[in-house]
């Protein structure tokens, strides 16, 4: 494993390019790039392209994803060594599912228009829920999002990726790759607390690593997975909401915190000083039944467009320069 900012990056080998259809209308930019997402080093975006790392077991892939005509995307793939047809097909299927290329959003669009929200949602209309992370990876991130600020979540994830992740190069970009469950387990609680500075989450993260090593395939997304994840001490309703919305792509699932509660309160013209989460949840359910989570996503991303946490690169060359600079090259 290649880890830490001082080691040479692992150079990935180009395997080829494939096209896959998308259901239209399709908002490529705000499907691939979420203005509310903090910097991870796992991906970088321009308006036309996304570069992202994917871990499949011990294998590391890199992908560049962009539109290819009006109704399909092109996915170029790199890997740390050669891959067979089945492995490539599995990765392509994961990417298509992760970004919802075939999601039917027609019912949600009708509700947006009926509720008079087409204008505030104008830029993000027809974008999808996206979760390029595996079940294991989004579980880790959900723990890092608990009861803290964006800057702390960013710092904690960076520390974990430096300690146990990898650095790779492909297509001129330099990105981080996620660690494995065993890599997380081997860090140990003391290093998690003292080096990665994750605080009380150390015990939960160690348990997450042990759990996925022992009993849960990283990519398994069956509906009963949420009940099983409750076996992990420290995984509660907030984390389950993040996992259900992202990894399980459940358009109903929501995780409300102080920040996004205020955003939705403004959308529904509620008094932000007195509104509570139950009131916001009830408004979402009344106006957007069965798609509450997708609506929360639209509201959150729309609110962050003007001041994104991880801004777009201006061009392909800028993405390549930026990716090297961000990882200390």
CATH classification at residue 305: 1.10.340.30
Q: What is the pLDDT along the chain (329 residues), one digit of tens a residue?
A: 334 444 689 999 999 999 999 999 999 999 999 999 999 999 999 999 999 999 998 899 999 999 999 999 999 999 988 889 999 999 999 999 999 999 999 999 999 999 999 999 999 999 999 999 999 999 999 999 988 899 999 999 999 999 999 999 999 999 999 999 999 999 989 999 999 999 999 999 999 999 999 875 555 556 678 888 888 889 988 888 899 898 889 999 998 888 899 999 999 998 767 888 999 999 999 999 999 999 999 999 999 999 999 999 999 999 999 999 998 75
Report phi then psi at 208, rounded to 5. -60, -45
Judged on CB neighbours under 10 Å (0-12, 13-18, 19+), 82 is exposed
- For residue 329, tell me if it sits in a domain: no
Q: For residue 122, what is the DSSP state? A: G
Q: Is residue 111, in this structure, part of any structural domain at all?
A: yes
Residue of 185, 88, 98 whose CA lies nearest to 133: 98
- For 19, other C-beta atoms within 10 Å of its C-beta total 14
Domain extent at residue 266: 1-10+17-314
- Cβ pair 291, 283 in contact under 8 A: no
pTM reported for the whole predicted model: 0.93
Question: Residues in the chain, how many?
Answer: 329
Give the closest residue to 295 by CA, choosing from 95, 39, 34, 112: 112
Inside any domain, residue 206: yes
Give the separation between CA 171 and CA 43, rounded to whole angstroms: 13
Q: Can you tell me whether residue 271 is helix, strand or coil?
A: coil
Residue 320 belongs to a domain: no
Which three-class secondary structure state does DSSP give residue 83?
A: coil
Among 90, 19, 18, 104, which Cα is nearest to 59's?
A: 90
Please report the pLDDT score of residue 288 as a whole number.
97
Q: Is residue 327 part of a domain?
A: no
Structure tokens at 5: 């900012």
Residue 325 lies inside a defined structural domain of this protein: no
Contact 182, 60 (CB under 8 A): no
Residue 326 within any structural domain of the chain: no
Domain total in the chain: 1
Asked if the structure places residue 319 within a domain, the reply is: no
Q: Is 22 helix (H, G, I), strand (E, B) or coil?
A: coil
């Amino acid at each position: 494993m290649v880890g830490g900012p001082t080691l040479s990056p692992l150079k990935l080998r180009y395997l080829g390019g494939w096209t896959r259809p998308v259901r239209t209308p399709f908002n490529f930019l705000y499907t691939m790039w979420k203005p509310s997402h903090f910097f991870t080093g796992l991906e970088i975006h321009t308006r036309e392209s996304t570069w992202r790392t994917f871990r499949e077991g011990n294998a590391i892939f890199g992908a560049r994803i962009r539109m290819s005509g009006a109704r399909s995307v092109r996915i170029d793939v790199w890997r740390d060594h050669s891959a067979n047809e089945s492995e490539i097909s599995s990765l392509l299927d994961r990417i298509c599912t992760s970004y919802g290329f075939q999601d039917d959003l027609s019912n949600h669009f009708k509700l947006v228009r009926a509720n008079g929200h087409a204008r505030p949602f104008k830029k993000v209309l027809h974008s999808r829920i996206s979760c390029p992370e595996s079940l294991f990876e989004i579980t880790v991130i959900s723990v890092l999002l608990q009861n803290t600020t964006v800057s702390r979540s960013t710092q904690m994830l960076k520390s974990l990726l430096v300690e146990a992740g990898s650095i790779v190069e492909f297509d001129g970009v330099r990105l981080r790759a996620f660690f494995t469950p065993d890599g997380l387990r081997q860090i140990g609680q003391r290093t998690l607390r003292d080096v990665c500075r994750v605080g009380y989450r150390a015990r939960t993260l160690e348990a997450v690593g042990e759990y996925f090593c022992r009993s849960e395939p990283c990519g398994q997304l069956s509906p009963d997975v949420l009940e099983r994840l409750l076996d992990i001490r420290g995984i509660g309703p907030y984390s389950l909401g993040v996992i259900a919305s992202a990894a399980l792509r459940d358009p109903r699932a929501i995780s409300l915190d102080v920040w996004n509660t205020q955003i939705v309160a403004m959308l529904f013209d509620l008094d932000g000083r007195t509104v509570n989460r139950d009131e916001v949840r009830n408004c979402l359910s009344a106006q957007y039944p069965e798609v509450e989570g997708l609506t929360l996503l639209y509201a959150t991303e729309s609110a962050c467009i003007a001041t994104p946490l991880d801004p777009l690169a201006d061009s392909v060359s800028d993405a390549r320069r930026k990716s090297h600079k961000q990882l200390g090259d």
